[in-house]
Amino acid sequence: MILVTGGAGFIGRAVVRALVGRGDRVRVVDSLRSDVHGTNPAPPEPGAQFQLGDLRDPAVVVRALDGVDAVLHLAAKVGLGVSLDDAPDYIASNDLATAELLAGMARAGIPRLVLSSSMVVYGEGAYLGASGPERPTPRTIGDLEAGRFEPIGSDGRVLRPDLIVEDATLDPRNVYASSKLAQEQLASAWARSSAGVSAVLRYHNVYGPGMPHNTPYAGVASLFRSALARGEAPRVFEDGRQRRDFVHVDDVAAANVAALDWTADQAPGAVRPFNIGSGTVHTIGDVATALCADDTLRPVVTGEFRLGDVRHITASSERARAELEWRPLVPFEDGMRDLRTAPLRRAAS
């Protein structure tokens, strides 16, 4: 039996479909919290057991883990978490819940974990200066207001963006990112103390049918798509040249399955992070243009900005390709074409 926490969410549903499709016995536990799923959640994915519950409750964890061989942990509160007022909910929802789950797995002797993490643990992406790799300092309000969006190196010149690898320095820059890094550290502690094995998947910009369309973390793809559905032009912040790696939700689901199989072949105590991205760089402006392809509306580049946003972050997914034997299969053009007409998950009320 495979347990998928958060299996009623956007990515969780795709993971459940992939597991059920290959014949696995699957159980889902999800709290169906109203700020994510609204007051009328979609029915569970067919073919999987469903349990309603909050992982912060030890009794829920015990019931969910009964008869389970491995866990794919996707349940989390997502979003930017820019205000410290959000911190208690993020830490309780993400880190306390993860701690309860891992403690339950240790007691039950469940040795395999696939943890859903995020590119946000890196902060800014990787850059090259005149002398090689260089980490930029956070961009200032003054530079952003003046339209100077590119990070500047120690020599005063614009840094060149590069692909980030899993061994890069981690630099979470908001409450949500901090909670995701804490989840990774908890998983490492669990693996060491209980001889478990954990694959940590750092998702880049995930998109596809069924995306939530009213939260910042849903990403620009869903925000642009929702604007078009309202008859409004997508509003592109900064100059639209921010670089990202957009990866289709079906490819992310396949990565989870590959990571689950990887955990079965590793020595006890192994923990390994993997970037999960398409390997192809696109800009925010590329996404807006692709989604507008069949529409009379065109993107509007506003020059607006959000303090704390990173300029460029794109993934090297070579480790996942080599070690998980995983390949993203959905081309950007095909995925964006499908997203133009695919239904999005209704806004949470």
* Tens-place pLDDT, residues 34-57: 777 767 788 888 999 999 999 999
Active site residue 176: yes
Our count of domains for the chain comes to 1
Beta-bridge partners for 14: none
CB-based contacts of 167: which residues, under 8 Å, 6+ apart? none
Q: Write 142-149 long-range contacts (CB < 8 A, 24+).
A: 144/238, 144/305, 144/307, 147/239, 147/303, 149/238, 149/239, 149/241, 149/242, 149/305, 149/311
Give the confidence band of 105 by pLDDT, cuts at 50, 70, 90.
very high
Question: Does residue 234 form part of some domain?
Answer: yes
Q: How far, CA to CA in Å, does 289 sit from each of 159, 192, 283?
A: 26, 47, 10
Mean pLDDT computed over 217-229 = 80
pLDDT surpasses 50 at 295: yes
Please return the burial class of 201, using the count of CB atoms within 10 Å of its CB with bins 0-12, 13-18 and 19+.
buried
Question: Does residue 114 form part of some domain?
Answer: yes
pLDDT surpasses 70 at 78: yes
Distance separating alpha carbons of residues 211 and 106, to the nearest angstrom: 33
Give the confidence band of 173 by pLDDT, cuts at 50, 70, 90.
confident
- Looking only at the bridges linking them, the beta strands covering 112-118 and 26-30 are unpaired
Least confident of 194-198, 305-309, 341-345: 341-345
- Of 90, 122, 176, 203, the active-site residue reads 176
Residue 114 phi, psi dihedral angles, 5° rounding:
-115, 115
H-helix or E-strand containing 118?
Answer: strand 112-118
Domain range enclosing 64? 2-126+163-341
pLDDT surpasses 90 at 80: no
Question: Does residue 263 form part of some domain?
Answer: yes
pLDDT surpasses 80 at 181: yes
Least confident of 72-76, 202-206, 209-213, 323-327: 209-213
- Concatenated DSSP letters of 303-347: ----TT--S--EE--HHHHHHS-----S-HHHHHHHHTTSPPBPP
Question: Does residue 78 form part of some domain?
Answer: yes
Question: Does residue 168 form part of some domain?
Answer: yes
pLDDT surpasses 80 at 86: yes
pLDDT surpasses 90 at 308: no
| CB contact at 8 A, 124 and 151 | yes
Mean pLDDT computed over 198-216 = 85
Question: Does residue 151 form part of some domain?
Answer: no
Give the confidence band of 349 by pLDDT, cuts at 50, 70, 90.
very low
Question: Does residue 285 form part of some domain?
Answer: yes
Question: Does residue 38 form part of some domain?
Answer: yes
Question: What is the pLDDT, as a whole number, of residue 214?
Answer: 55
Residue 235 phi, psi dihedral angles, 5° rounding:
-100, 120
Which CATH number belongs to the domain containing residue 117 in this structure?
3.40.50.720
Least confident of 136-150, 215-229, 277-291, 304-318: 215-229
Mean pLDDT computed over 84-108 = 94
Question: What is the pLDDT, as a whole number, of residue 347?
Answer: 52
